[in-house]
Amino acid sequence: MTARYSSVRRTFPASYWTLALALLFAAEPAAAQEAGDAPRPDAALDAAPNAQGSGSYGGDIVVTARRRAETAQDVPIAISVVGGDQIDNTGSFNVGRLQQLAPTLQFYSSNPRNTAVNIRGIGAPFGLTNDGIEQGVGIYVDDVYYSRVASATFDFLDVAQIEVLRGPQGTLYGKNTTAGAINITTNQPTFDFEGKAEISIGNLNFKQAKAAISGPLTDHLAARIALSSTSRRGTIYNVTTDRWVQSQDNIGIRGQLLWQPNDDLSVTLSGDWSKQDAVCCASVFVRTGATQRPLNRQYAALAAAQGYTVPSTNPYDRLTDLDASLNAGNEIGGVALRVKWDVGPGTLTSVTAWRYWDWQPENDRDFTGLPIVTKSQNPSQQNQYTQELRYNYTGDRFDFVLGGFYYYQRIDTQGTEQHGPASSRWTLNPGSDSTLFDPLVTGCGPSASNQLACTPSVLDGLTAINTQFLKNTSAALFGKASWKISDQFTIQPGVRLNYDKKEGFYQRRVFAGDGTPVVFGPTDAVTLARLGVFAPQEYAPEFSDWNFSYDLTATYKATRDLLLYATYAKTFKSGGINQNGVPNDANNNPLLGAATVKPESVNHYEVGIKTEFWDRRATFNLTAFRTDIKNFQANVNNGQFGVLRGYLANAGKVRTQGVEGDFSIRPSERFRAYVNGAYTDAKYVKFVDAPCAPEQSGGTNSPPNCDVSGQWLPGVSKWAFSFGAEVNAESKLFDQDGQFYFGYDGSYRSDWSSNPTPSAYTWVKGYSLSNFRAGFRTESGFDLFAWVRNAFDRNYIDQLSVGPGNTGLITGLPGDPRTWGGTIKARF
């Protein structure tokens, strides 16, 4: 958290300015916030959490992390807060960019559906998304739970404030969240007329426009409407289609009606719709690595056999040659009704919501320009219904939150995957008879009946059609109390009773290129070859379970500006079902034992200190944590093209522990700086049957699984920092009083593993990014500034992927190059 500061101007000795200038080069916008110069705590609670003054740029930091308004420094939770102005100024217009402001947040996305948000290295399994399990990080927008992380790829729409809560939050939030929660608050309708507009343009043909208007319709009815549109040319050039890919093309709208007949009752009806129609998603060649396959079956030999070369072996040339259709059509929307009613000494809140998500993807799953996999698409449609009811009571010595939550979700998916004329040569072994085939030679050799690889028609047109659905029901009672034993010491117990039920269906039908069904039974070589690529399967998994969670927090308010706290939480992440297929047994029947995964059992420990000093011009918060997870839900796969897309299994035990610190300083209105950091030690404690790394896979004697106990969890850096500063000077422009300002935002993360099992080939090197902005703003809300992001044009990788088939191919998604542009904002 950044420091509270007063609006009273002060002068400071030269030594203070020396310290400030030093911090300028050591900092970046963190998930921190500044608040006033010793406001009354009870006055802060009266402030609206979406007030324009809140956030990193001034005013009290009022948060609703515990389902009531209170100052961030009084909340015994590790929490990062990002204000709406900071989101705009740093270009952090979706969750993916938010991770540059919050060091403990990890975001991975190969396309909108295959998106994961983790906190402290845990939350969702790394790899292909499986609908049959829950997210460990809950995303809430105005109290509404968003069950699919795909919504995180959309632009933030009229956001007032974002709170990133670390650690389990199941006794405070409707859906159980074992790793943390992202609580997004939008600007609400007002009974005073107000509006804002913003336009940005930049290189890569970047264009973004945002607008919002709010005001009264009657004495008791107010409305607000907000719009957002973003477009940008892609950053990767596809030489096959002569198009730029990885583009941005988002549009969104949100409308709200607020009925407030009296001071005790408010009813808000909101609706939103967003559509994403980008040319996406592509990868580029990064490297190859030796596997256990014979040399003639590894990438270099396979590519040479078909005369194939990639357009560039340098990933930062940003060239690809993918030949299958690419699409990432994404539409999401919903309606919510929120009722707040002051009843006696507390407030009753009801949140009723319906949301939908339609996903229309097309991918190239062979990651090459060869017609190996010519079609890969898994469109899906989701509907979800949620009802949350809670009662908040606040007293002199005793507070509590008591709630109930119901959730129902239905997902239907229709998948099609098809192989092309290059698949036989690439996928099938030309034969093991050394008299017919030299294992060091890639050509087909003499004609022989067992050399199916030399016959394109064996796999050309081979098609798998998947049909699946999921019905997911969850209900919970939860509550958290706060008992102020003395003026300094408070204990806060919480409980949660949870029921989950999941019912699914998975069917895969396989057809040869001529339309003939491919089934088990025939033993001819062609059928067996086809079954080795796509195996038909059908099963209907089910899971249901009750679990009980609890936590206890003790806080000690040593002084007005020093809070110490400790938390223990025993919680669960619901079990699930495998929705992408499971292995077959020796009789070619689905292994039903693998159709379900056990719940995760979580023990969480955390201690922290929150302090303000130097007349509340400086803030320093420090947190130490440890989370132990038994039956960790991990993603595994067998490396083949289509037999399994990946399925879930339970790892024995995982542990993540570390230390997080937030420091901010504001010696005057002319300067502020902050630095946030996190050290995270996240490992598999016990995982003896994990999928093997590429370098251990592919050979006839390769182990079916490997022991990765003691190795690093994927996706999490040991060290991560965000830091920044801003300096301003009062001046005039066009006869308008205001400030010229200059800001710097930076972030750093150390190397991390981009594969569920750590591999020498999939470590992403650490990198640092620097962003600058400079402009002029007025008190009336006019703001004109220029910006440059990734100013030093650092080359970095967002994610690495292992190509299918254990050929040793490694592809990746290069991060954005240097971008620059300008923004103009106005409020009225």
Of 9 and 545, more confident: 545
SS3 call for 19: helix
Choose between 36 and 246: higher pLDDT: 246
Coil vs helix vs strand at 501: strand
Tell me, what's the pLDDT at 153? Answer: 66
| pLDDT reading at 49 higher than 60 | no
Is it the case that residue 111 has pLDDT exceeding 90? no
> Mean pLDDT, the chain, as a whole number?
87
Q: At 409, give phi and psi (nearest 5°).
A: -135, 140
Beta bridge partners, 720, equal: 678, 749
Residue 470's SS3 state is strand
Select from 501, 440, 499 the least CA-distant residue to 470: 501
Question: How far apart, in whole angstroms, are the C-alpha atoms of residue 171 and residue 492?
Answer: 11
Q: Quote the pLDDT of residue 278.
A: 85
Residue 646 has a pLDDT of 65
Give yes or no for residue 382 having a pLDDT over 80: yes
Please write the tens of the pLDDT for every residue from 205-217. 999 999 999 999 9
Confirm if 748 and 721 have CB atoms less than 8 A apart: yes
- Mean local confidence (pLDDT), 521-544: 93
- Per-residue pLDDT at 218 exceeds 90: yes
Average pLDDT of the residues in 485-505: 96
- pLDDT tens, residue by residue, 787-813: 999 999 999 999 999 998 889 999 999
Domains of the chain as residue ranges with CATH:
14-420+475-486+497-505+540-583+597-611+622-827 (2.40.170.20)
pLDDT computed for residue 88 by the predictor: 78
Q: Dihedral sign, CA of 229, 234, 82, 787?
A: negative
What pLDDT is attached to residue 515? 96
What is the sign, positive or negative, of the torsion defined by CA atoms of 597, 552, 184, 79? negative
Confidence at 108, pLDDT banded by 50, 70, 90: confident
Element (H, E) at 585: none
Determine the average pLDDT of the residues in 113-119: 84
Where b means 16+ CB within 10 Å and e means fewer, 451-486 reads bbbbbbebbbbbbbbbebbbebebbbebbbbbebee
Between the alpha carbon of residue 722 and those of residues 105, 767, 815, the distances in Å are 11, 12, 17
Task: Give which of 731, 624, 612, 628 is closest to 663, Cα–Cα.
Answer: 612
Residue 61 confidence (pLDDT) above 90: no
Residue 99's nearest CA partner among 82, 74, 78, 122 is 82
Cα separation, 125 vs 648, in Å, equals 8
- 94: number of CA atoms within 13 Å, CB side? 23
Q: What angle do CA 501, 504, 505 make, to 5 degrees?
A: 165
> What pLDDT does residue 789 have?
96
**Between residues 368 and 5, which one has the greater pLDDT?**
368
Q: Is 412 helix (H, G, I), strand (E, B) or coil?
A: strand
Listing DSSP states for 762-804 in one string gives -EEPPEEEEEEEEEEEETTS-EEEEEEESTT----EEEEEEPG
Distance, CA of 167 to chain centre: 16
Q: Pick the closest to residue 331 from 414, 273, 413 (CA basis).
A: 273
Query: How many whole angstroms separate alpha carbon 708 and alpha carbon 673?
Result: 41
Task: List the one residue out of 737, 658, 738, 649 whose CA is nearest residue 690.
Answer: 649
% of residues, the chain, pLDDT over 90:
66
Residue of 820, 804, 807 lying closest to 364 (CA atoms): 804
- Say what the pTM is: 0.88
- The mean per-residue pLDDT over the stretch 23-30 comes to 35
What is the rounded distance in angstroms from the CA atom of residue 679 to the CA atom of residue 45? 32
Q: Encode pLDDT of 444-461 as tens digits.
A: 655 544 578 888 999 999
pLDDT of amino acid 450: 52
pLDDT, tens only, 666-719: 999 999 999 999 999 999 999 998 888 999 988 888 888 899 999 999 999 999
CA dihedral over 591, 593, 596, 601, signed as positive or negative:
negative
Write out the E strands in 420-561: 463-484, 489-511, 537-539, 542-559
pLDDT score at 430? 67
The pLDDT tens digits for 807-816 are 999 999 999 9
3-state secondary structure 175-224: CCCCCEEEEEEECCCCCCCEEEEEEEEECCCEEEEEEEEEEECCCCEEEE
SS3 string, 319-365, reads EECCCCCCEEEEEEEEEEEEEEEEECCEEEEEEEEEEEEEEEEECCC
Between 39-48, 137-146, 779-788, the lowest mean confidence (pLDDT) is in: 39-48
In terms of Cβ atoms closer than 10 Å to its own Cβ (0-12, 13-18, 19+), residue 213 is middle
Compute the distance between CA of residue 773 and CA of residue 785 in angstroms, rounded to an integer: 7
Distance of CA 115 to the CA centre of its chain: 6
CA atoms of 483 and 395, how far apart (whole Å): 10
- Which pLDDT score is estimated for 212? 98
Q: Position 773: which residue type? A: R
Among 244, 310, 316, CA closest to 767:
316
Q: Indicate the range of 48-62, 323-337, 549-563, 633-647 predicted with least confidence.
A: 48-62
